[in-house]
């Protein structure tokens, strides 16, 4: 499988890191086209303390815990609008933008994109491939909501970075991964965690999270 993963300047760089880590660990993803916006590198520096601006392949691989010479992740410059993900004739299964800023979301929703992330998303939609957006902002204004509705109607999957707590996460990693596994579910990438809700059996005075069968 091949995917494009874009990281933009919304809060939640860790979601991007873990999405890439779990894609790499899946064993079925053979190539990842990685695109980062300038703001994404600023946010990663603030949130993860890592400088990804102008990062080379080896640094990205180290960041993801991959062998330095791994050829899984192909880094594309944001201004390289001739890179492989810019064309629908380049076969791949889909694209995820994680996290997705309101700026990038608006650019894609308007169809007036200016960089490789916008172009690749536009191409993914026009080819009828899976486009997943993981927006993060709070609160949403009417423009954000209208843009999400517009994109949803155009075929995009909106998976907001709003993690659930029903699996009782004990660590930030567990909280993050729960969302990441939902993203992978939508992309059809296998992972080790069970994300399927088994049903809740209600008995007098207690709630049991178990299979209904
Ligand atoms: C630390 C930090 C956190 C940010 N968090 C968000 C956010 O959660 N959502 C958002 O839409 N923009 C956020 N921004 C603003 C975006 O980075 C900014 O709008 C940027 O222009 C987006 O550009 P891009 O879409 O090309 O990445 C944040 C900026 C910084 C510096």
Mean pLDDT of 74-83: 96
CA distance 115 to 47: 24
Give residue-wise pLDDT tens across range 87-97.
Answer: 999 999 999 99
Q: What is the DSSP letter of 120?
A: H
pLDDT in tens, 182-211: 999 999 999 877 666 677 776 666 666 665
pLDDT band at 213 (very low <50, low <70, confident <90, very high): very low
Distances (CA, A) of 94 to 121, 137, 138, 153, 189: 9, 24, 27, 17, 11
pLDDT digits (tens, 9 = 90+) for 7-64: 999 999 999 999 999 999 999 999 999 999 999 999 999 999 999 998 899 999 999 9
Distance CA 108, CA 91 (A): 21
- In this structure, the residues whose C-beta lies within 6 A of any atom of ligand 1 are 8-11, 37, 39-40, 42-43, 46, 101-104, 136-137
Q: Tell how far the Cα of 142 is from the centroid of ligand 1, in angstroms.
A: 18
Beta strands in the chain (DSSP E): 2-7, 31-36, 73-76, 94-100, 130-135, 157-158, 200-203, 206-209
Which residue among 9, 37, 42, 47 is best mutated to probe the pocket of ligand 1, counting the most ligand atoms within 8 A of its Cβ? 9
Average pLDDT over residues 111-129: 97
Average of pLDDT values for 111-132? Answer: 97
Atom of ligand 1 nearest to the CA of 101: 11
């Amino acid at each position: 499988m091949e995917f494009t993963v874009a990281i933009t300047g919304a809060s939640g760089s860790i979601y991007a890191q873990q999405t890439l880590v779990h894609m790499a660990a899946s064993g079925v993803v053979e190539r990842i086209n990685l695109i980062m916006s300038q703001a994404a590198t600023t946010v990663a520096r603030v949130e993860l303390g890592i400088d990804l601006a102008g990062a080379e392949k080896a640094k990205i691989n180290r960041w993801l815990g991959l062998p330095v010479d791994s050829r899984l992740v192909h880094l594309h410059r944001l201004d390289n609008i001739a890179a492989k993900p810019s064309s629908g004739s380049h076969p791949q299964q889909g694209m995820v933008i994680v996290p997705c800023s309101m700026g990038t979301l608006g650019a894609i929703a308007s169809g007036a994109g200016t960089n490789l992330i916008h172009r690749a998303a536009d191409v993914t939609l026009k080819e009828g491939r899976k486009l997943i957006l993981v927006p993060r902002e709070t609160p949403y204004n009417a423009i954000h909501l209208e843009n999400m509705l517009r994109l949803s109607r155009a075929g995009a999957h909106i998976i907001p970075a709003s993690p659930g707590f029903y699996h009782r996460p004990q660590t930030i990693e567990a909280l993050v991964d729960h969302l990441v596994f939902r993203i992978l579910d939508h992309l059809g990438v296998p992972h080790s965690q069970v994300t399927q809700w088994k049903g809740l059996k209600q008995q007098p005075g207690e709630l049991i999270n178990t299979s209904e069968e």
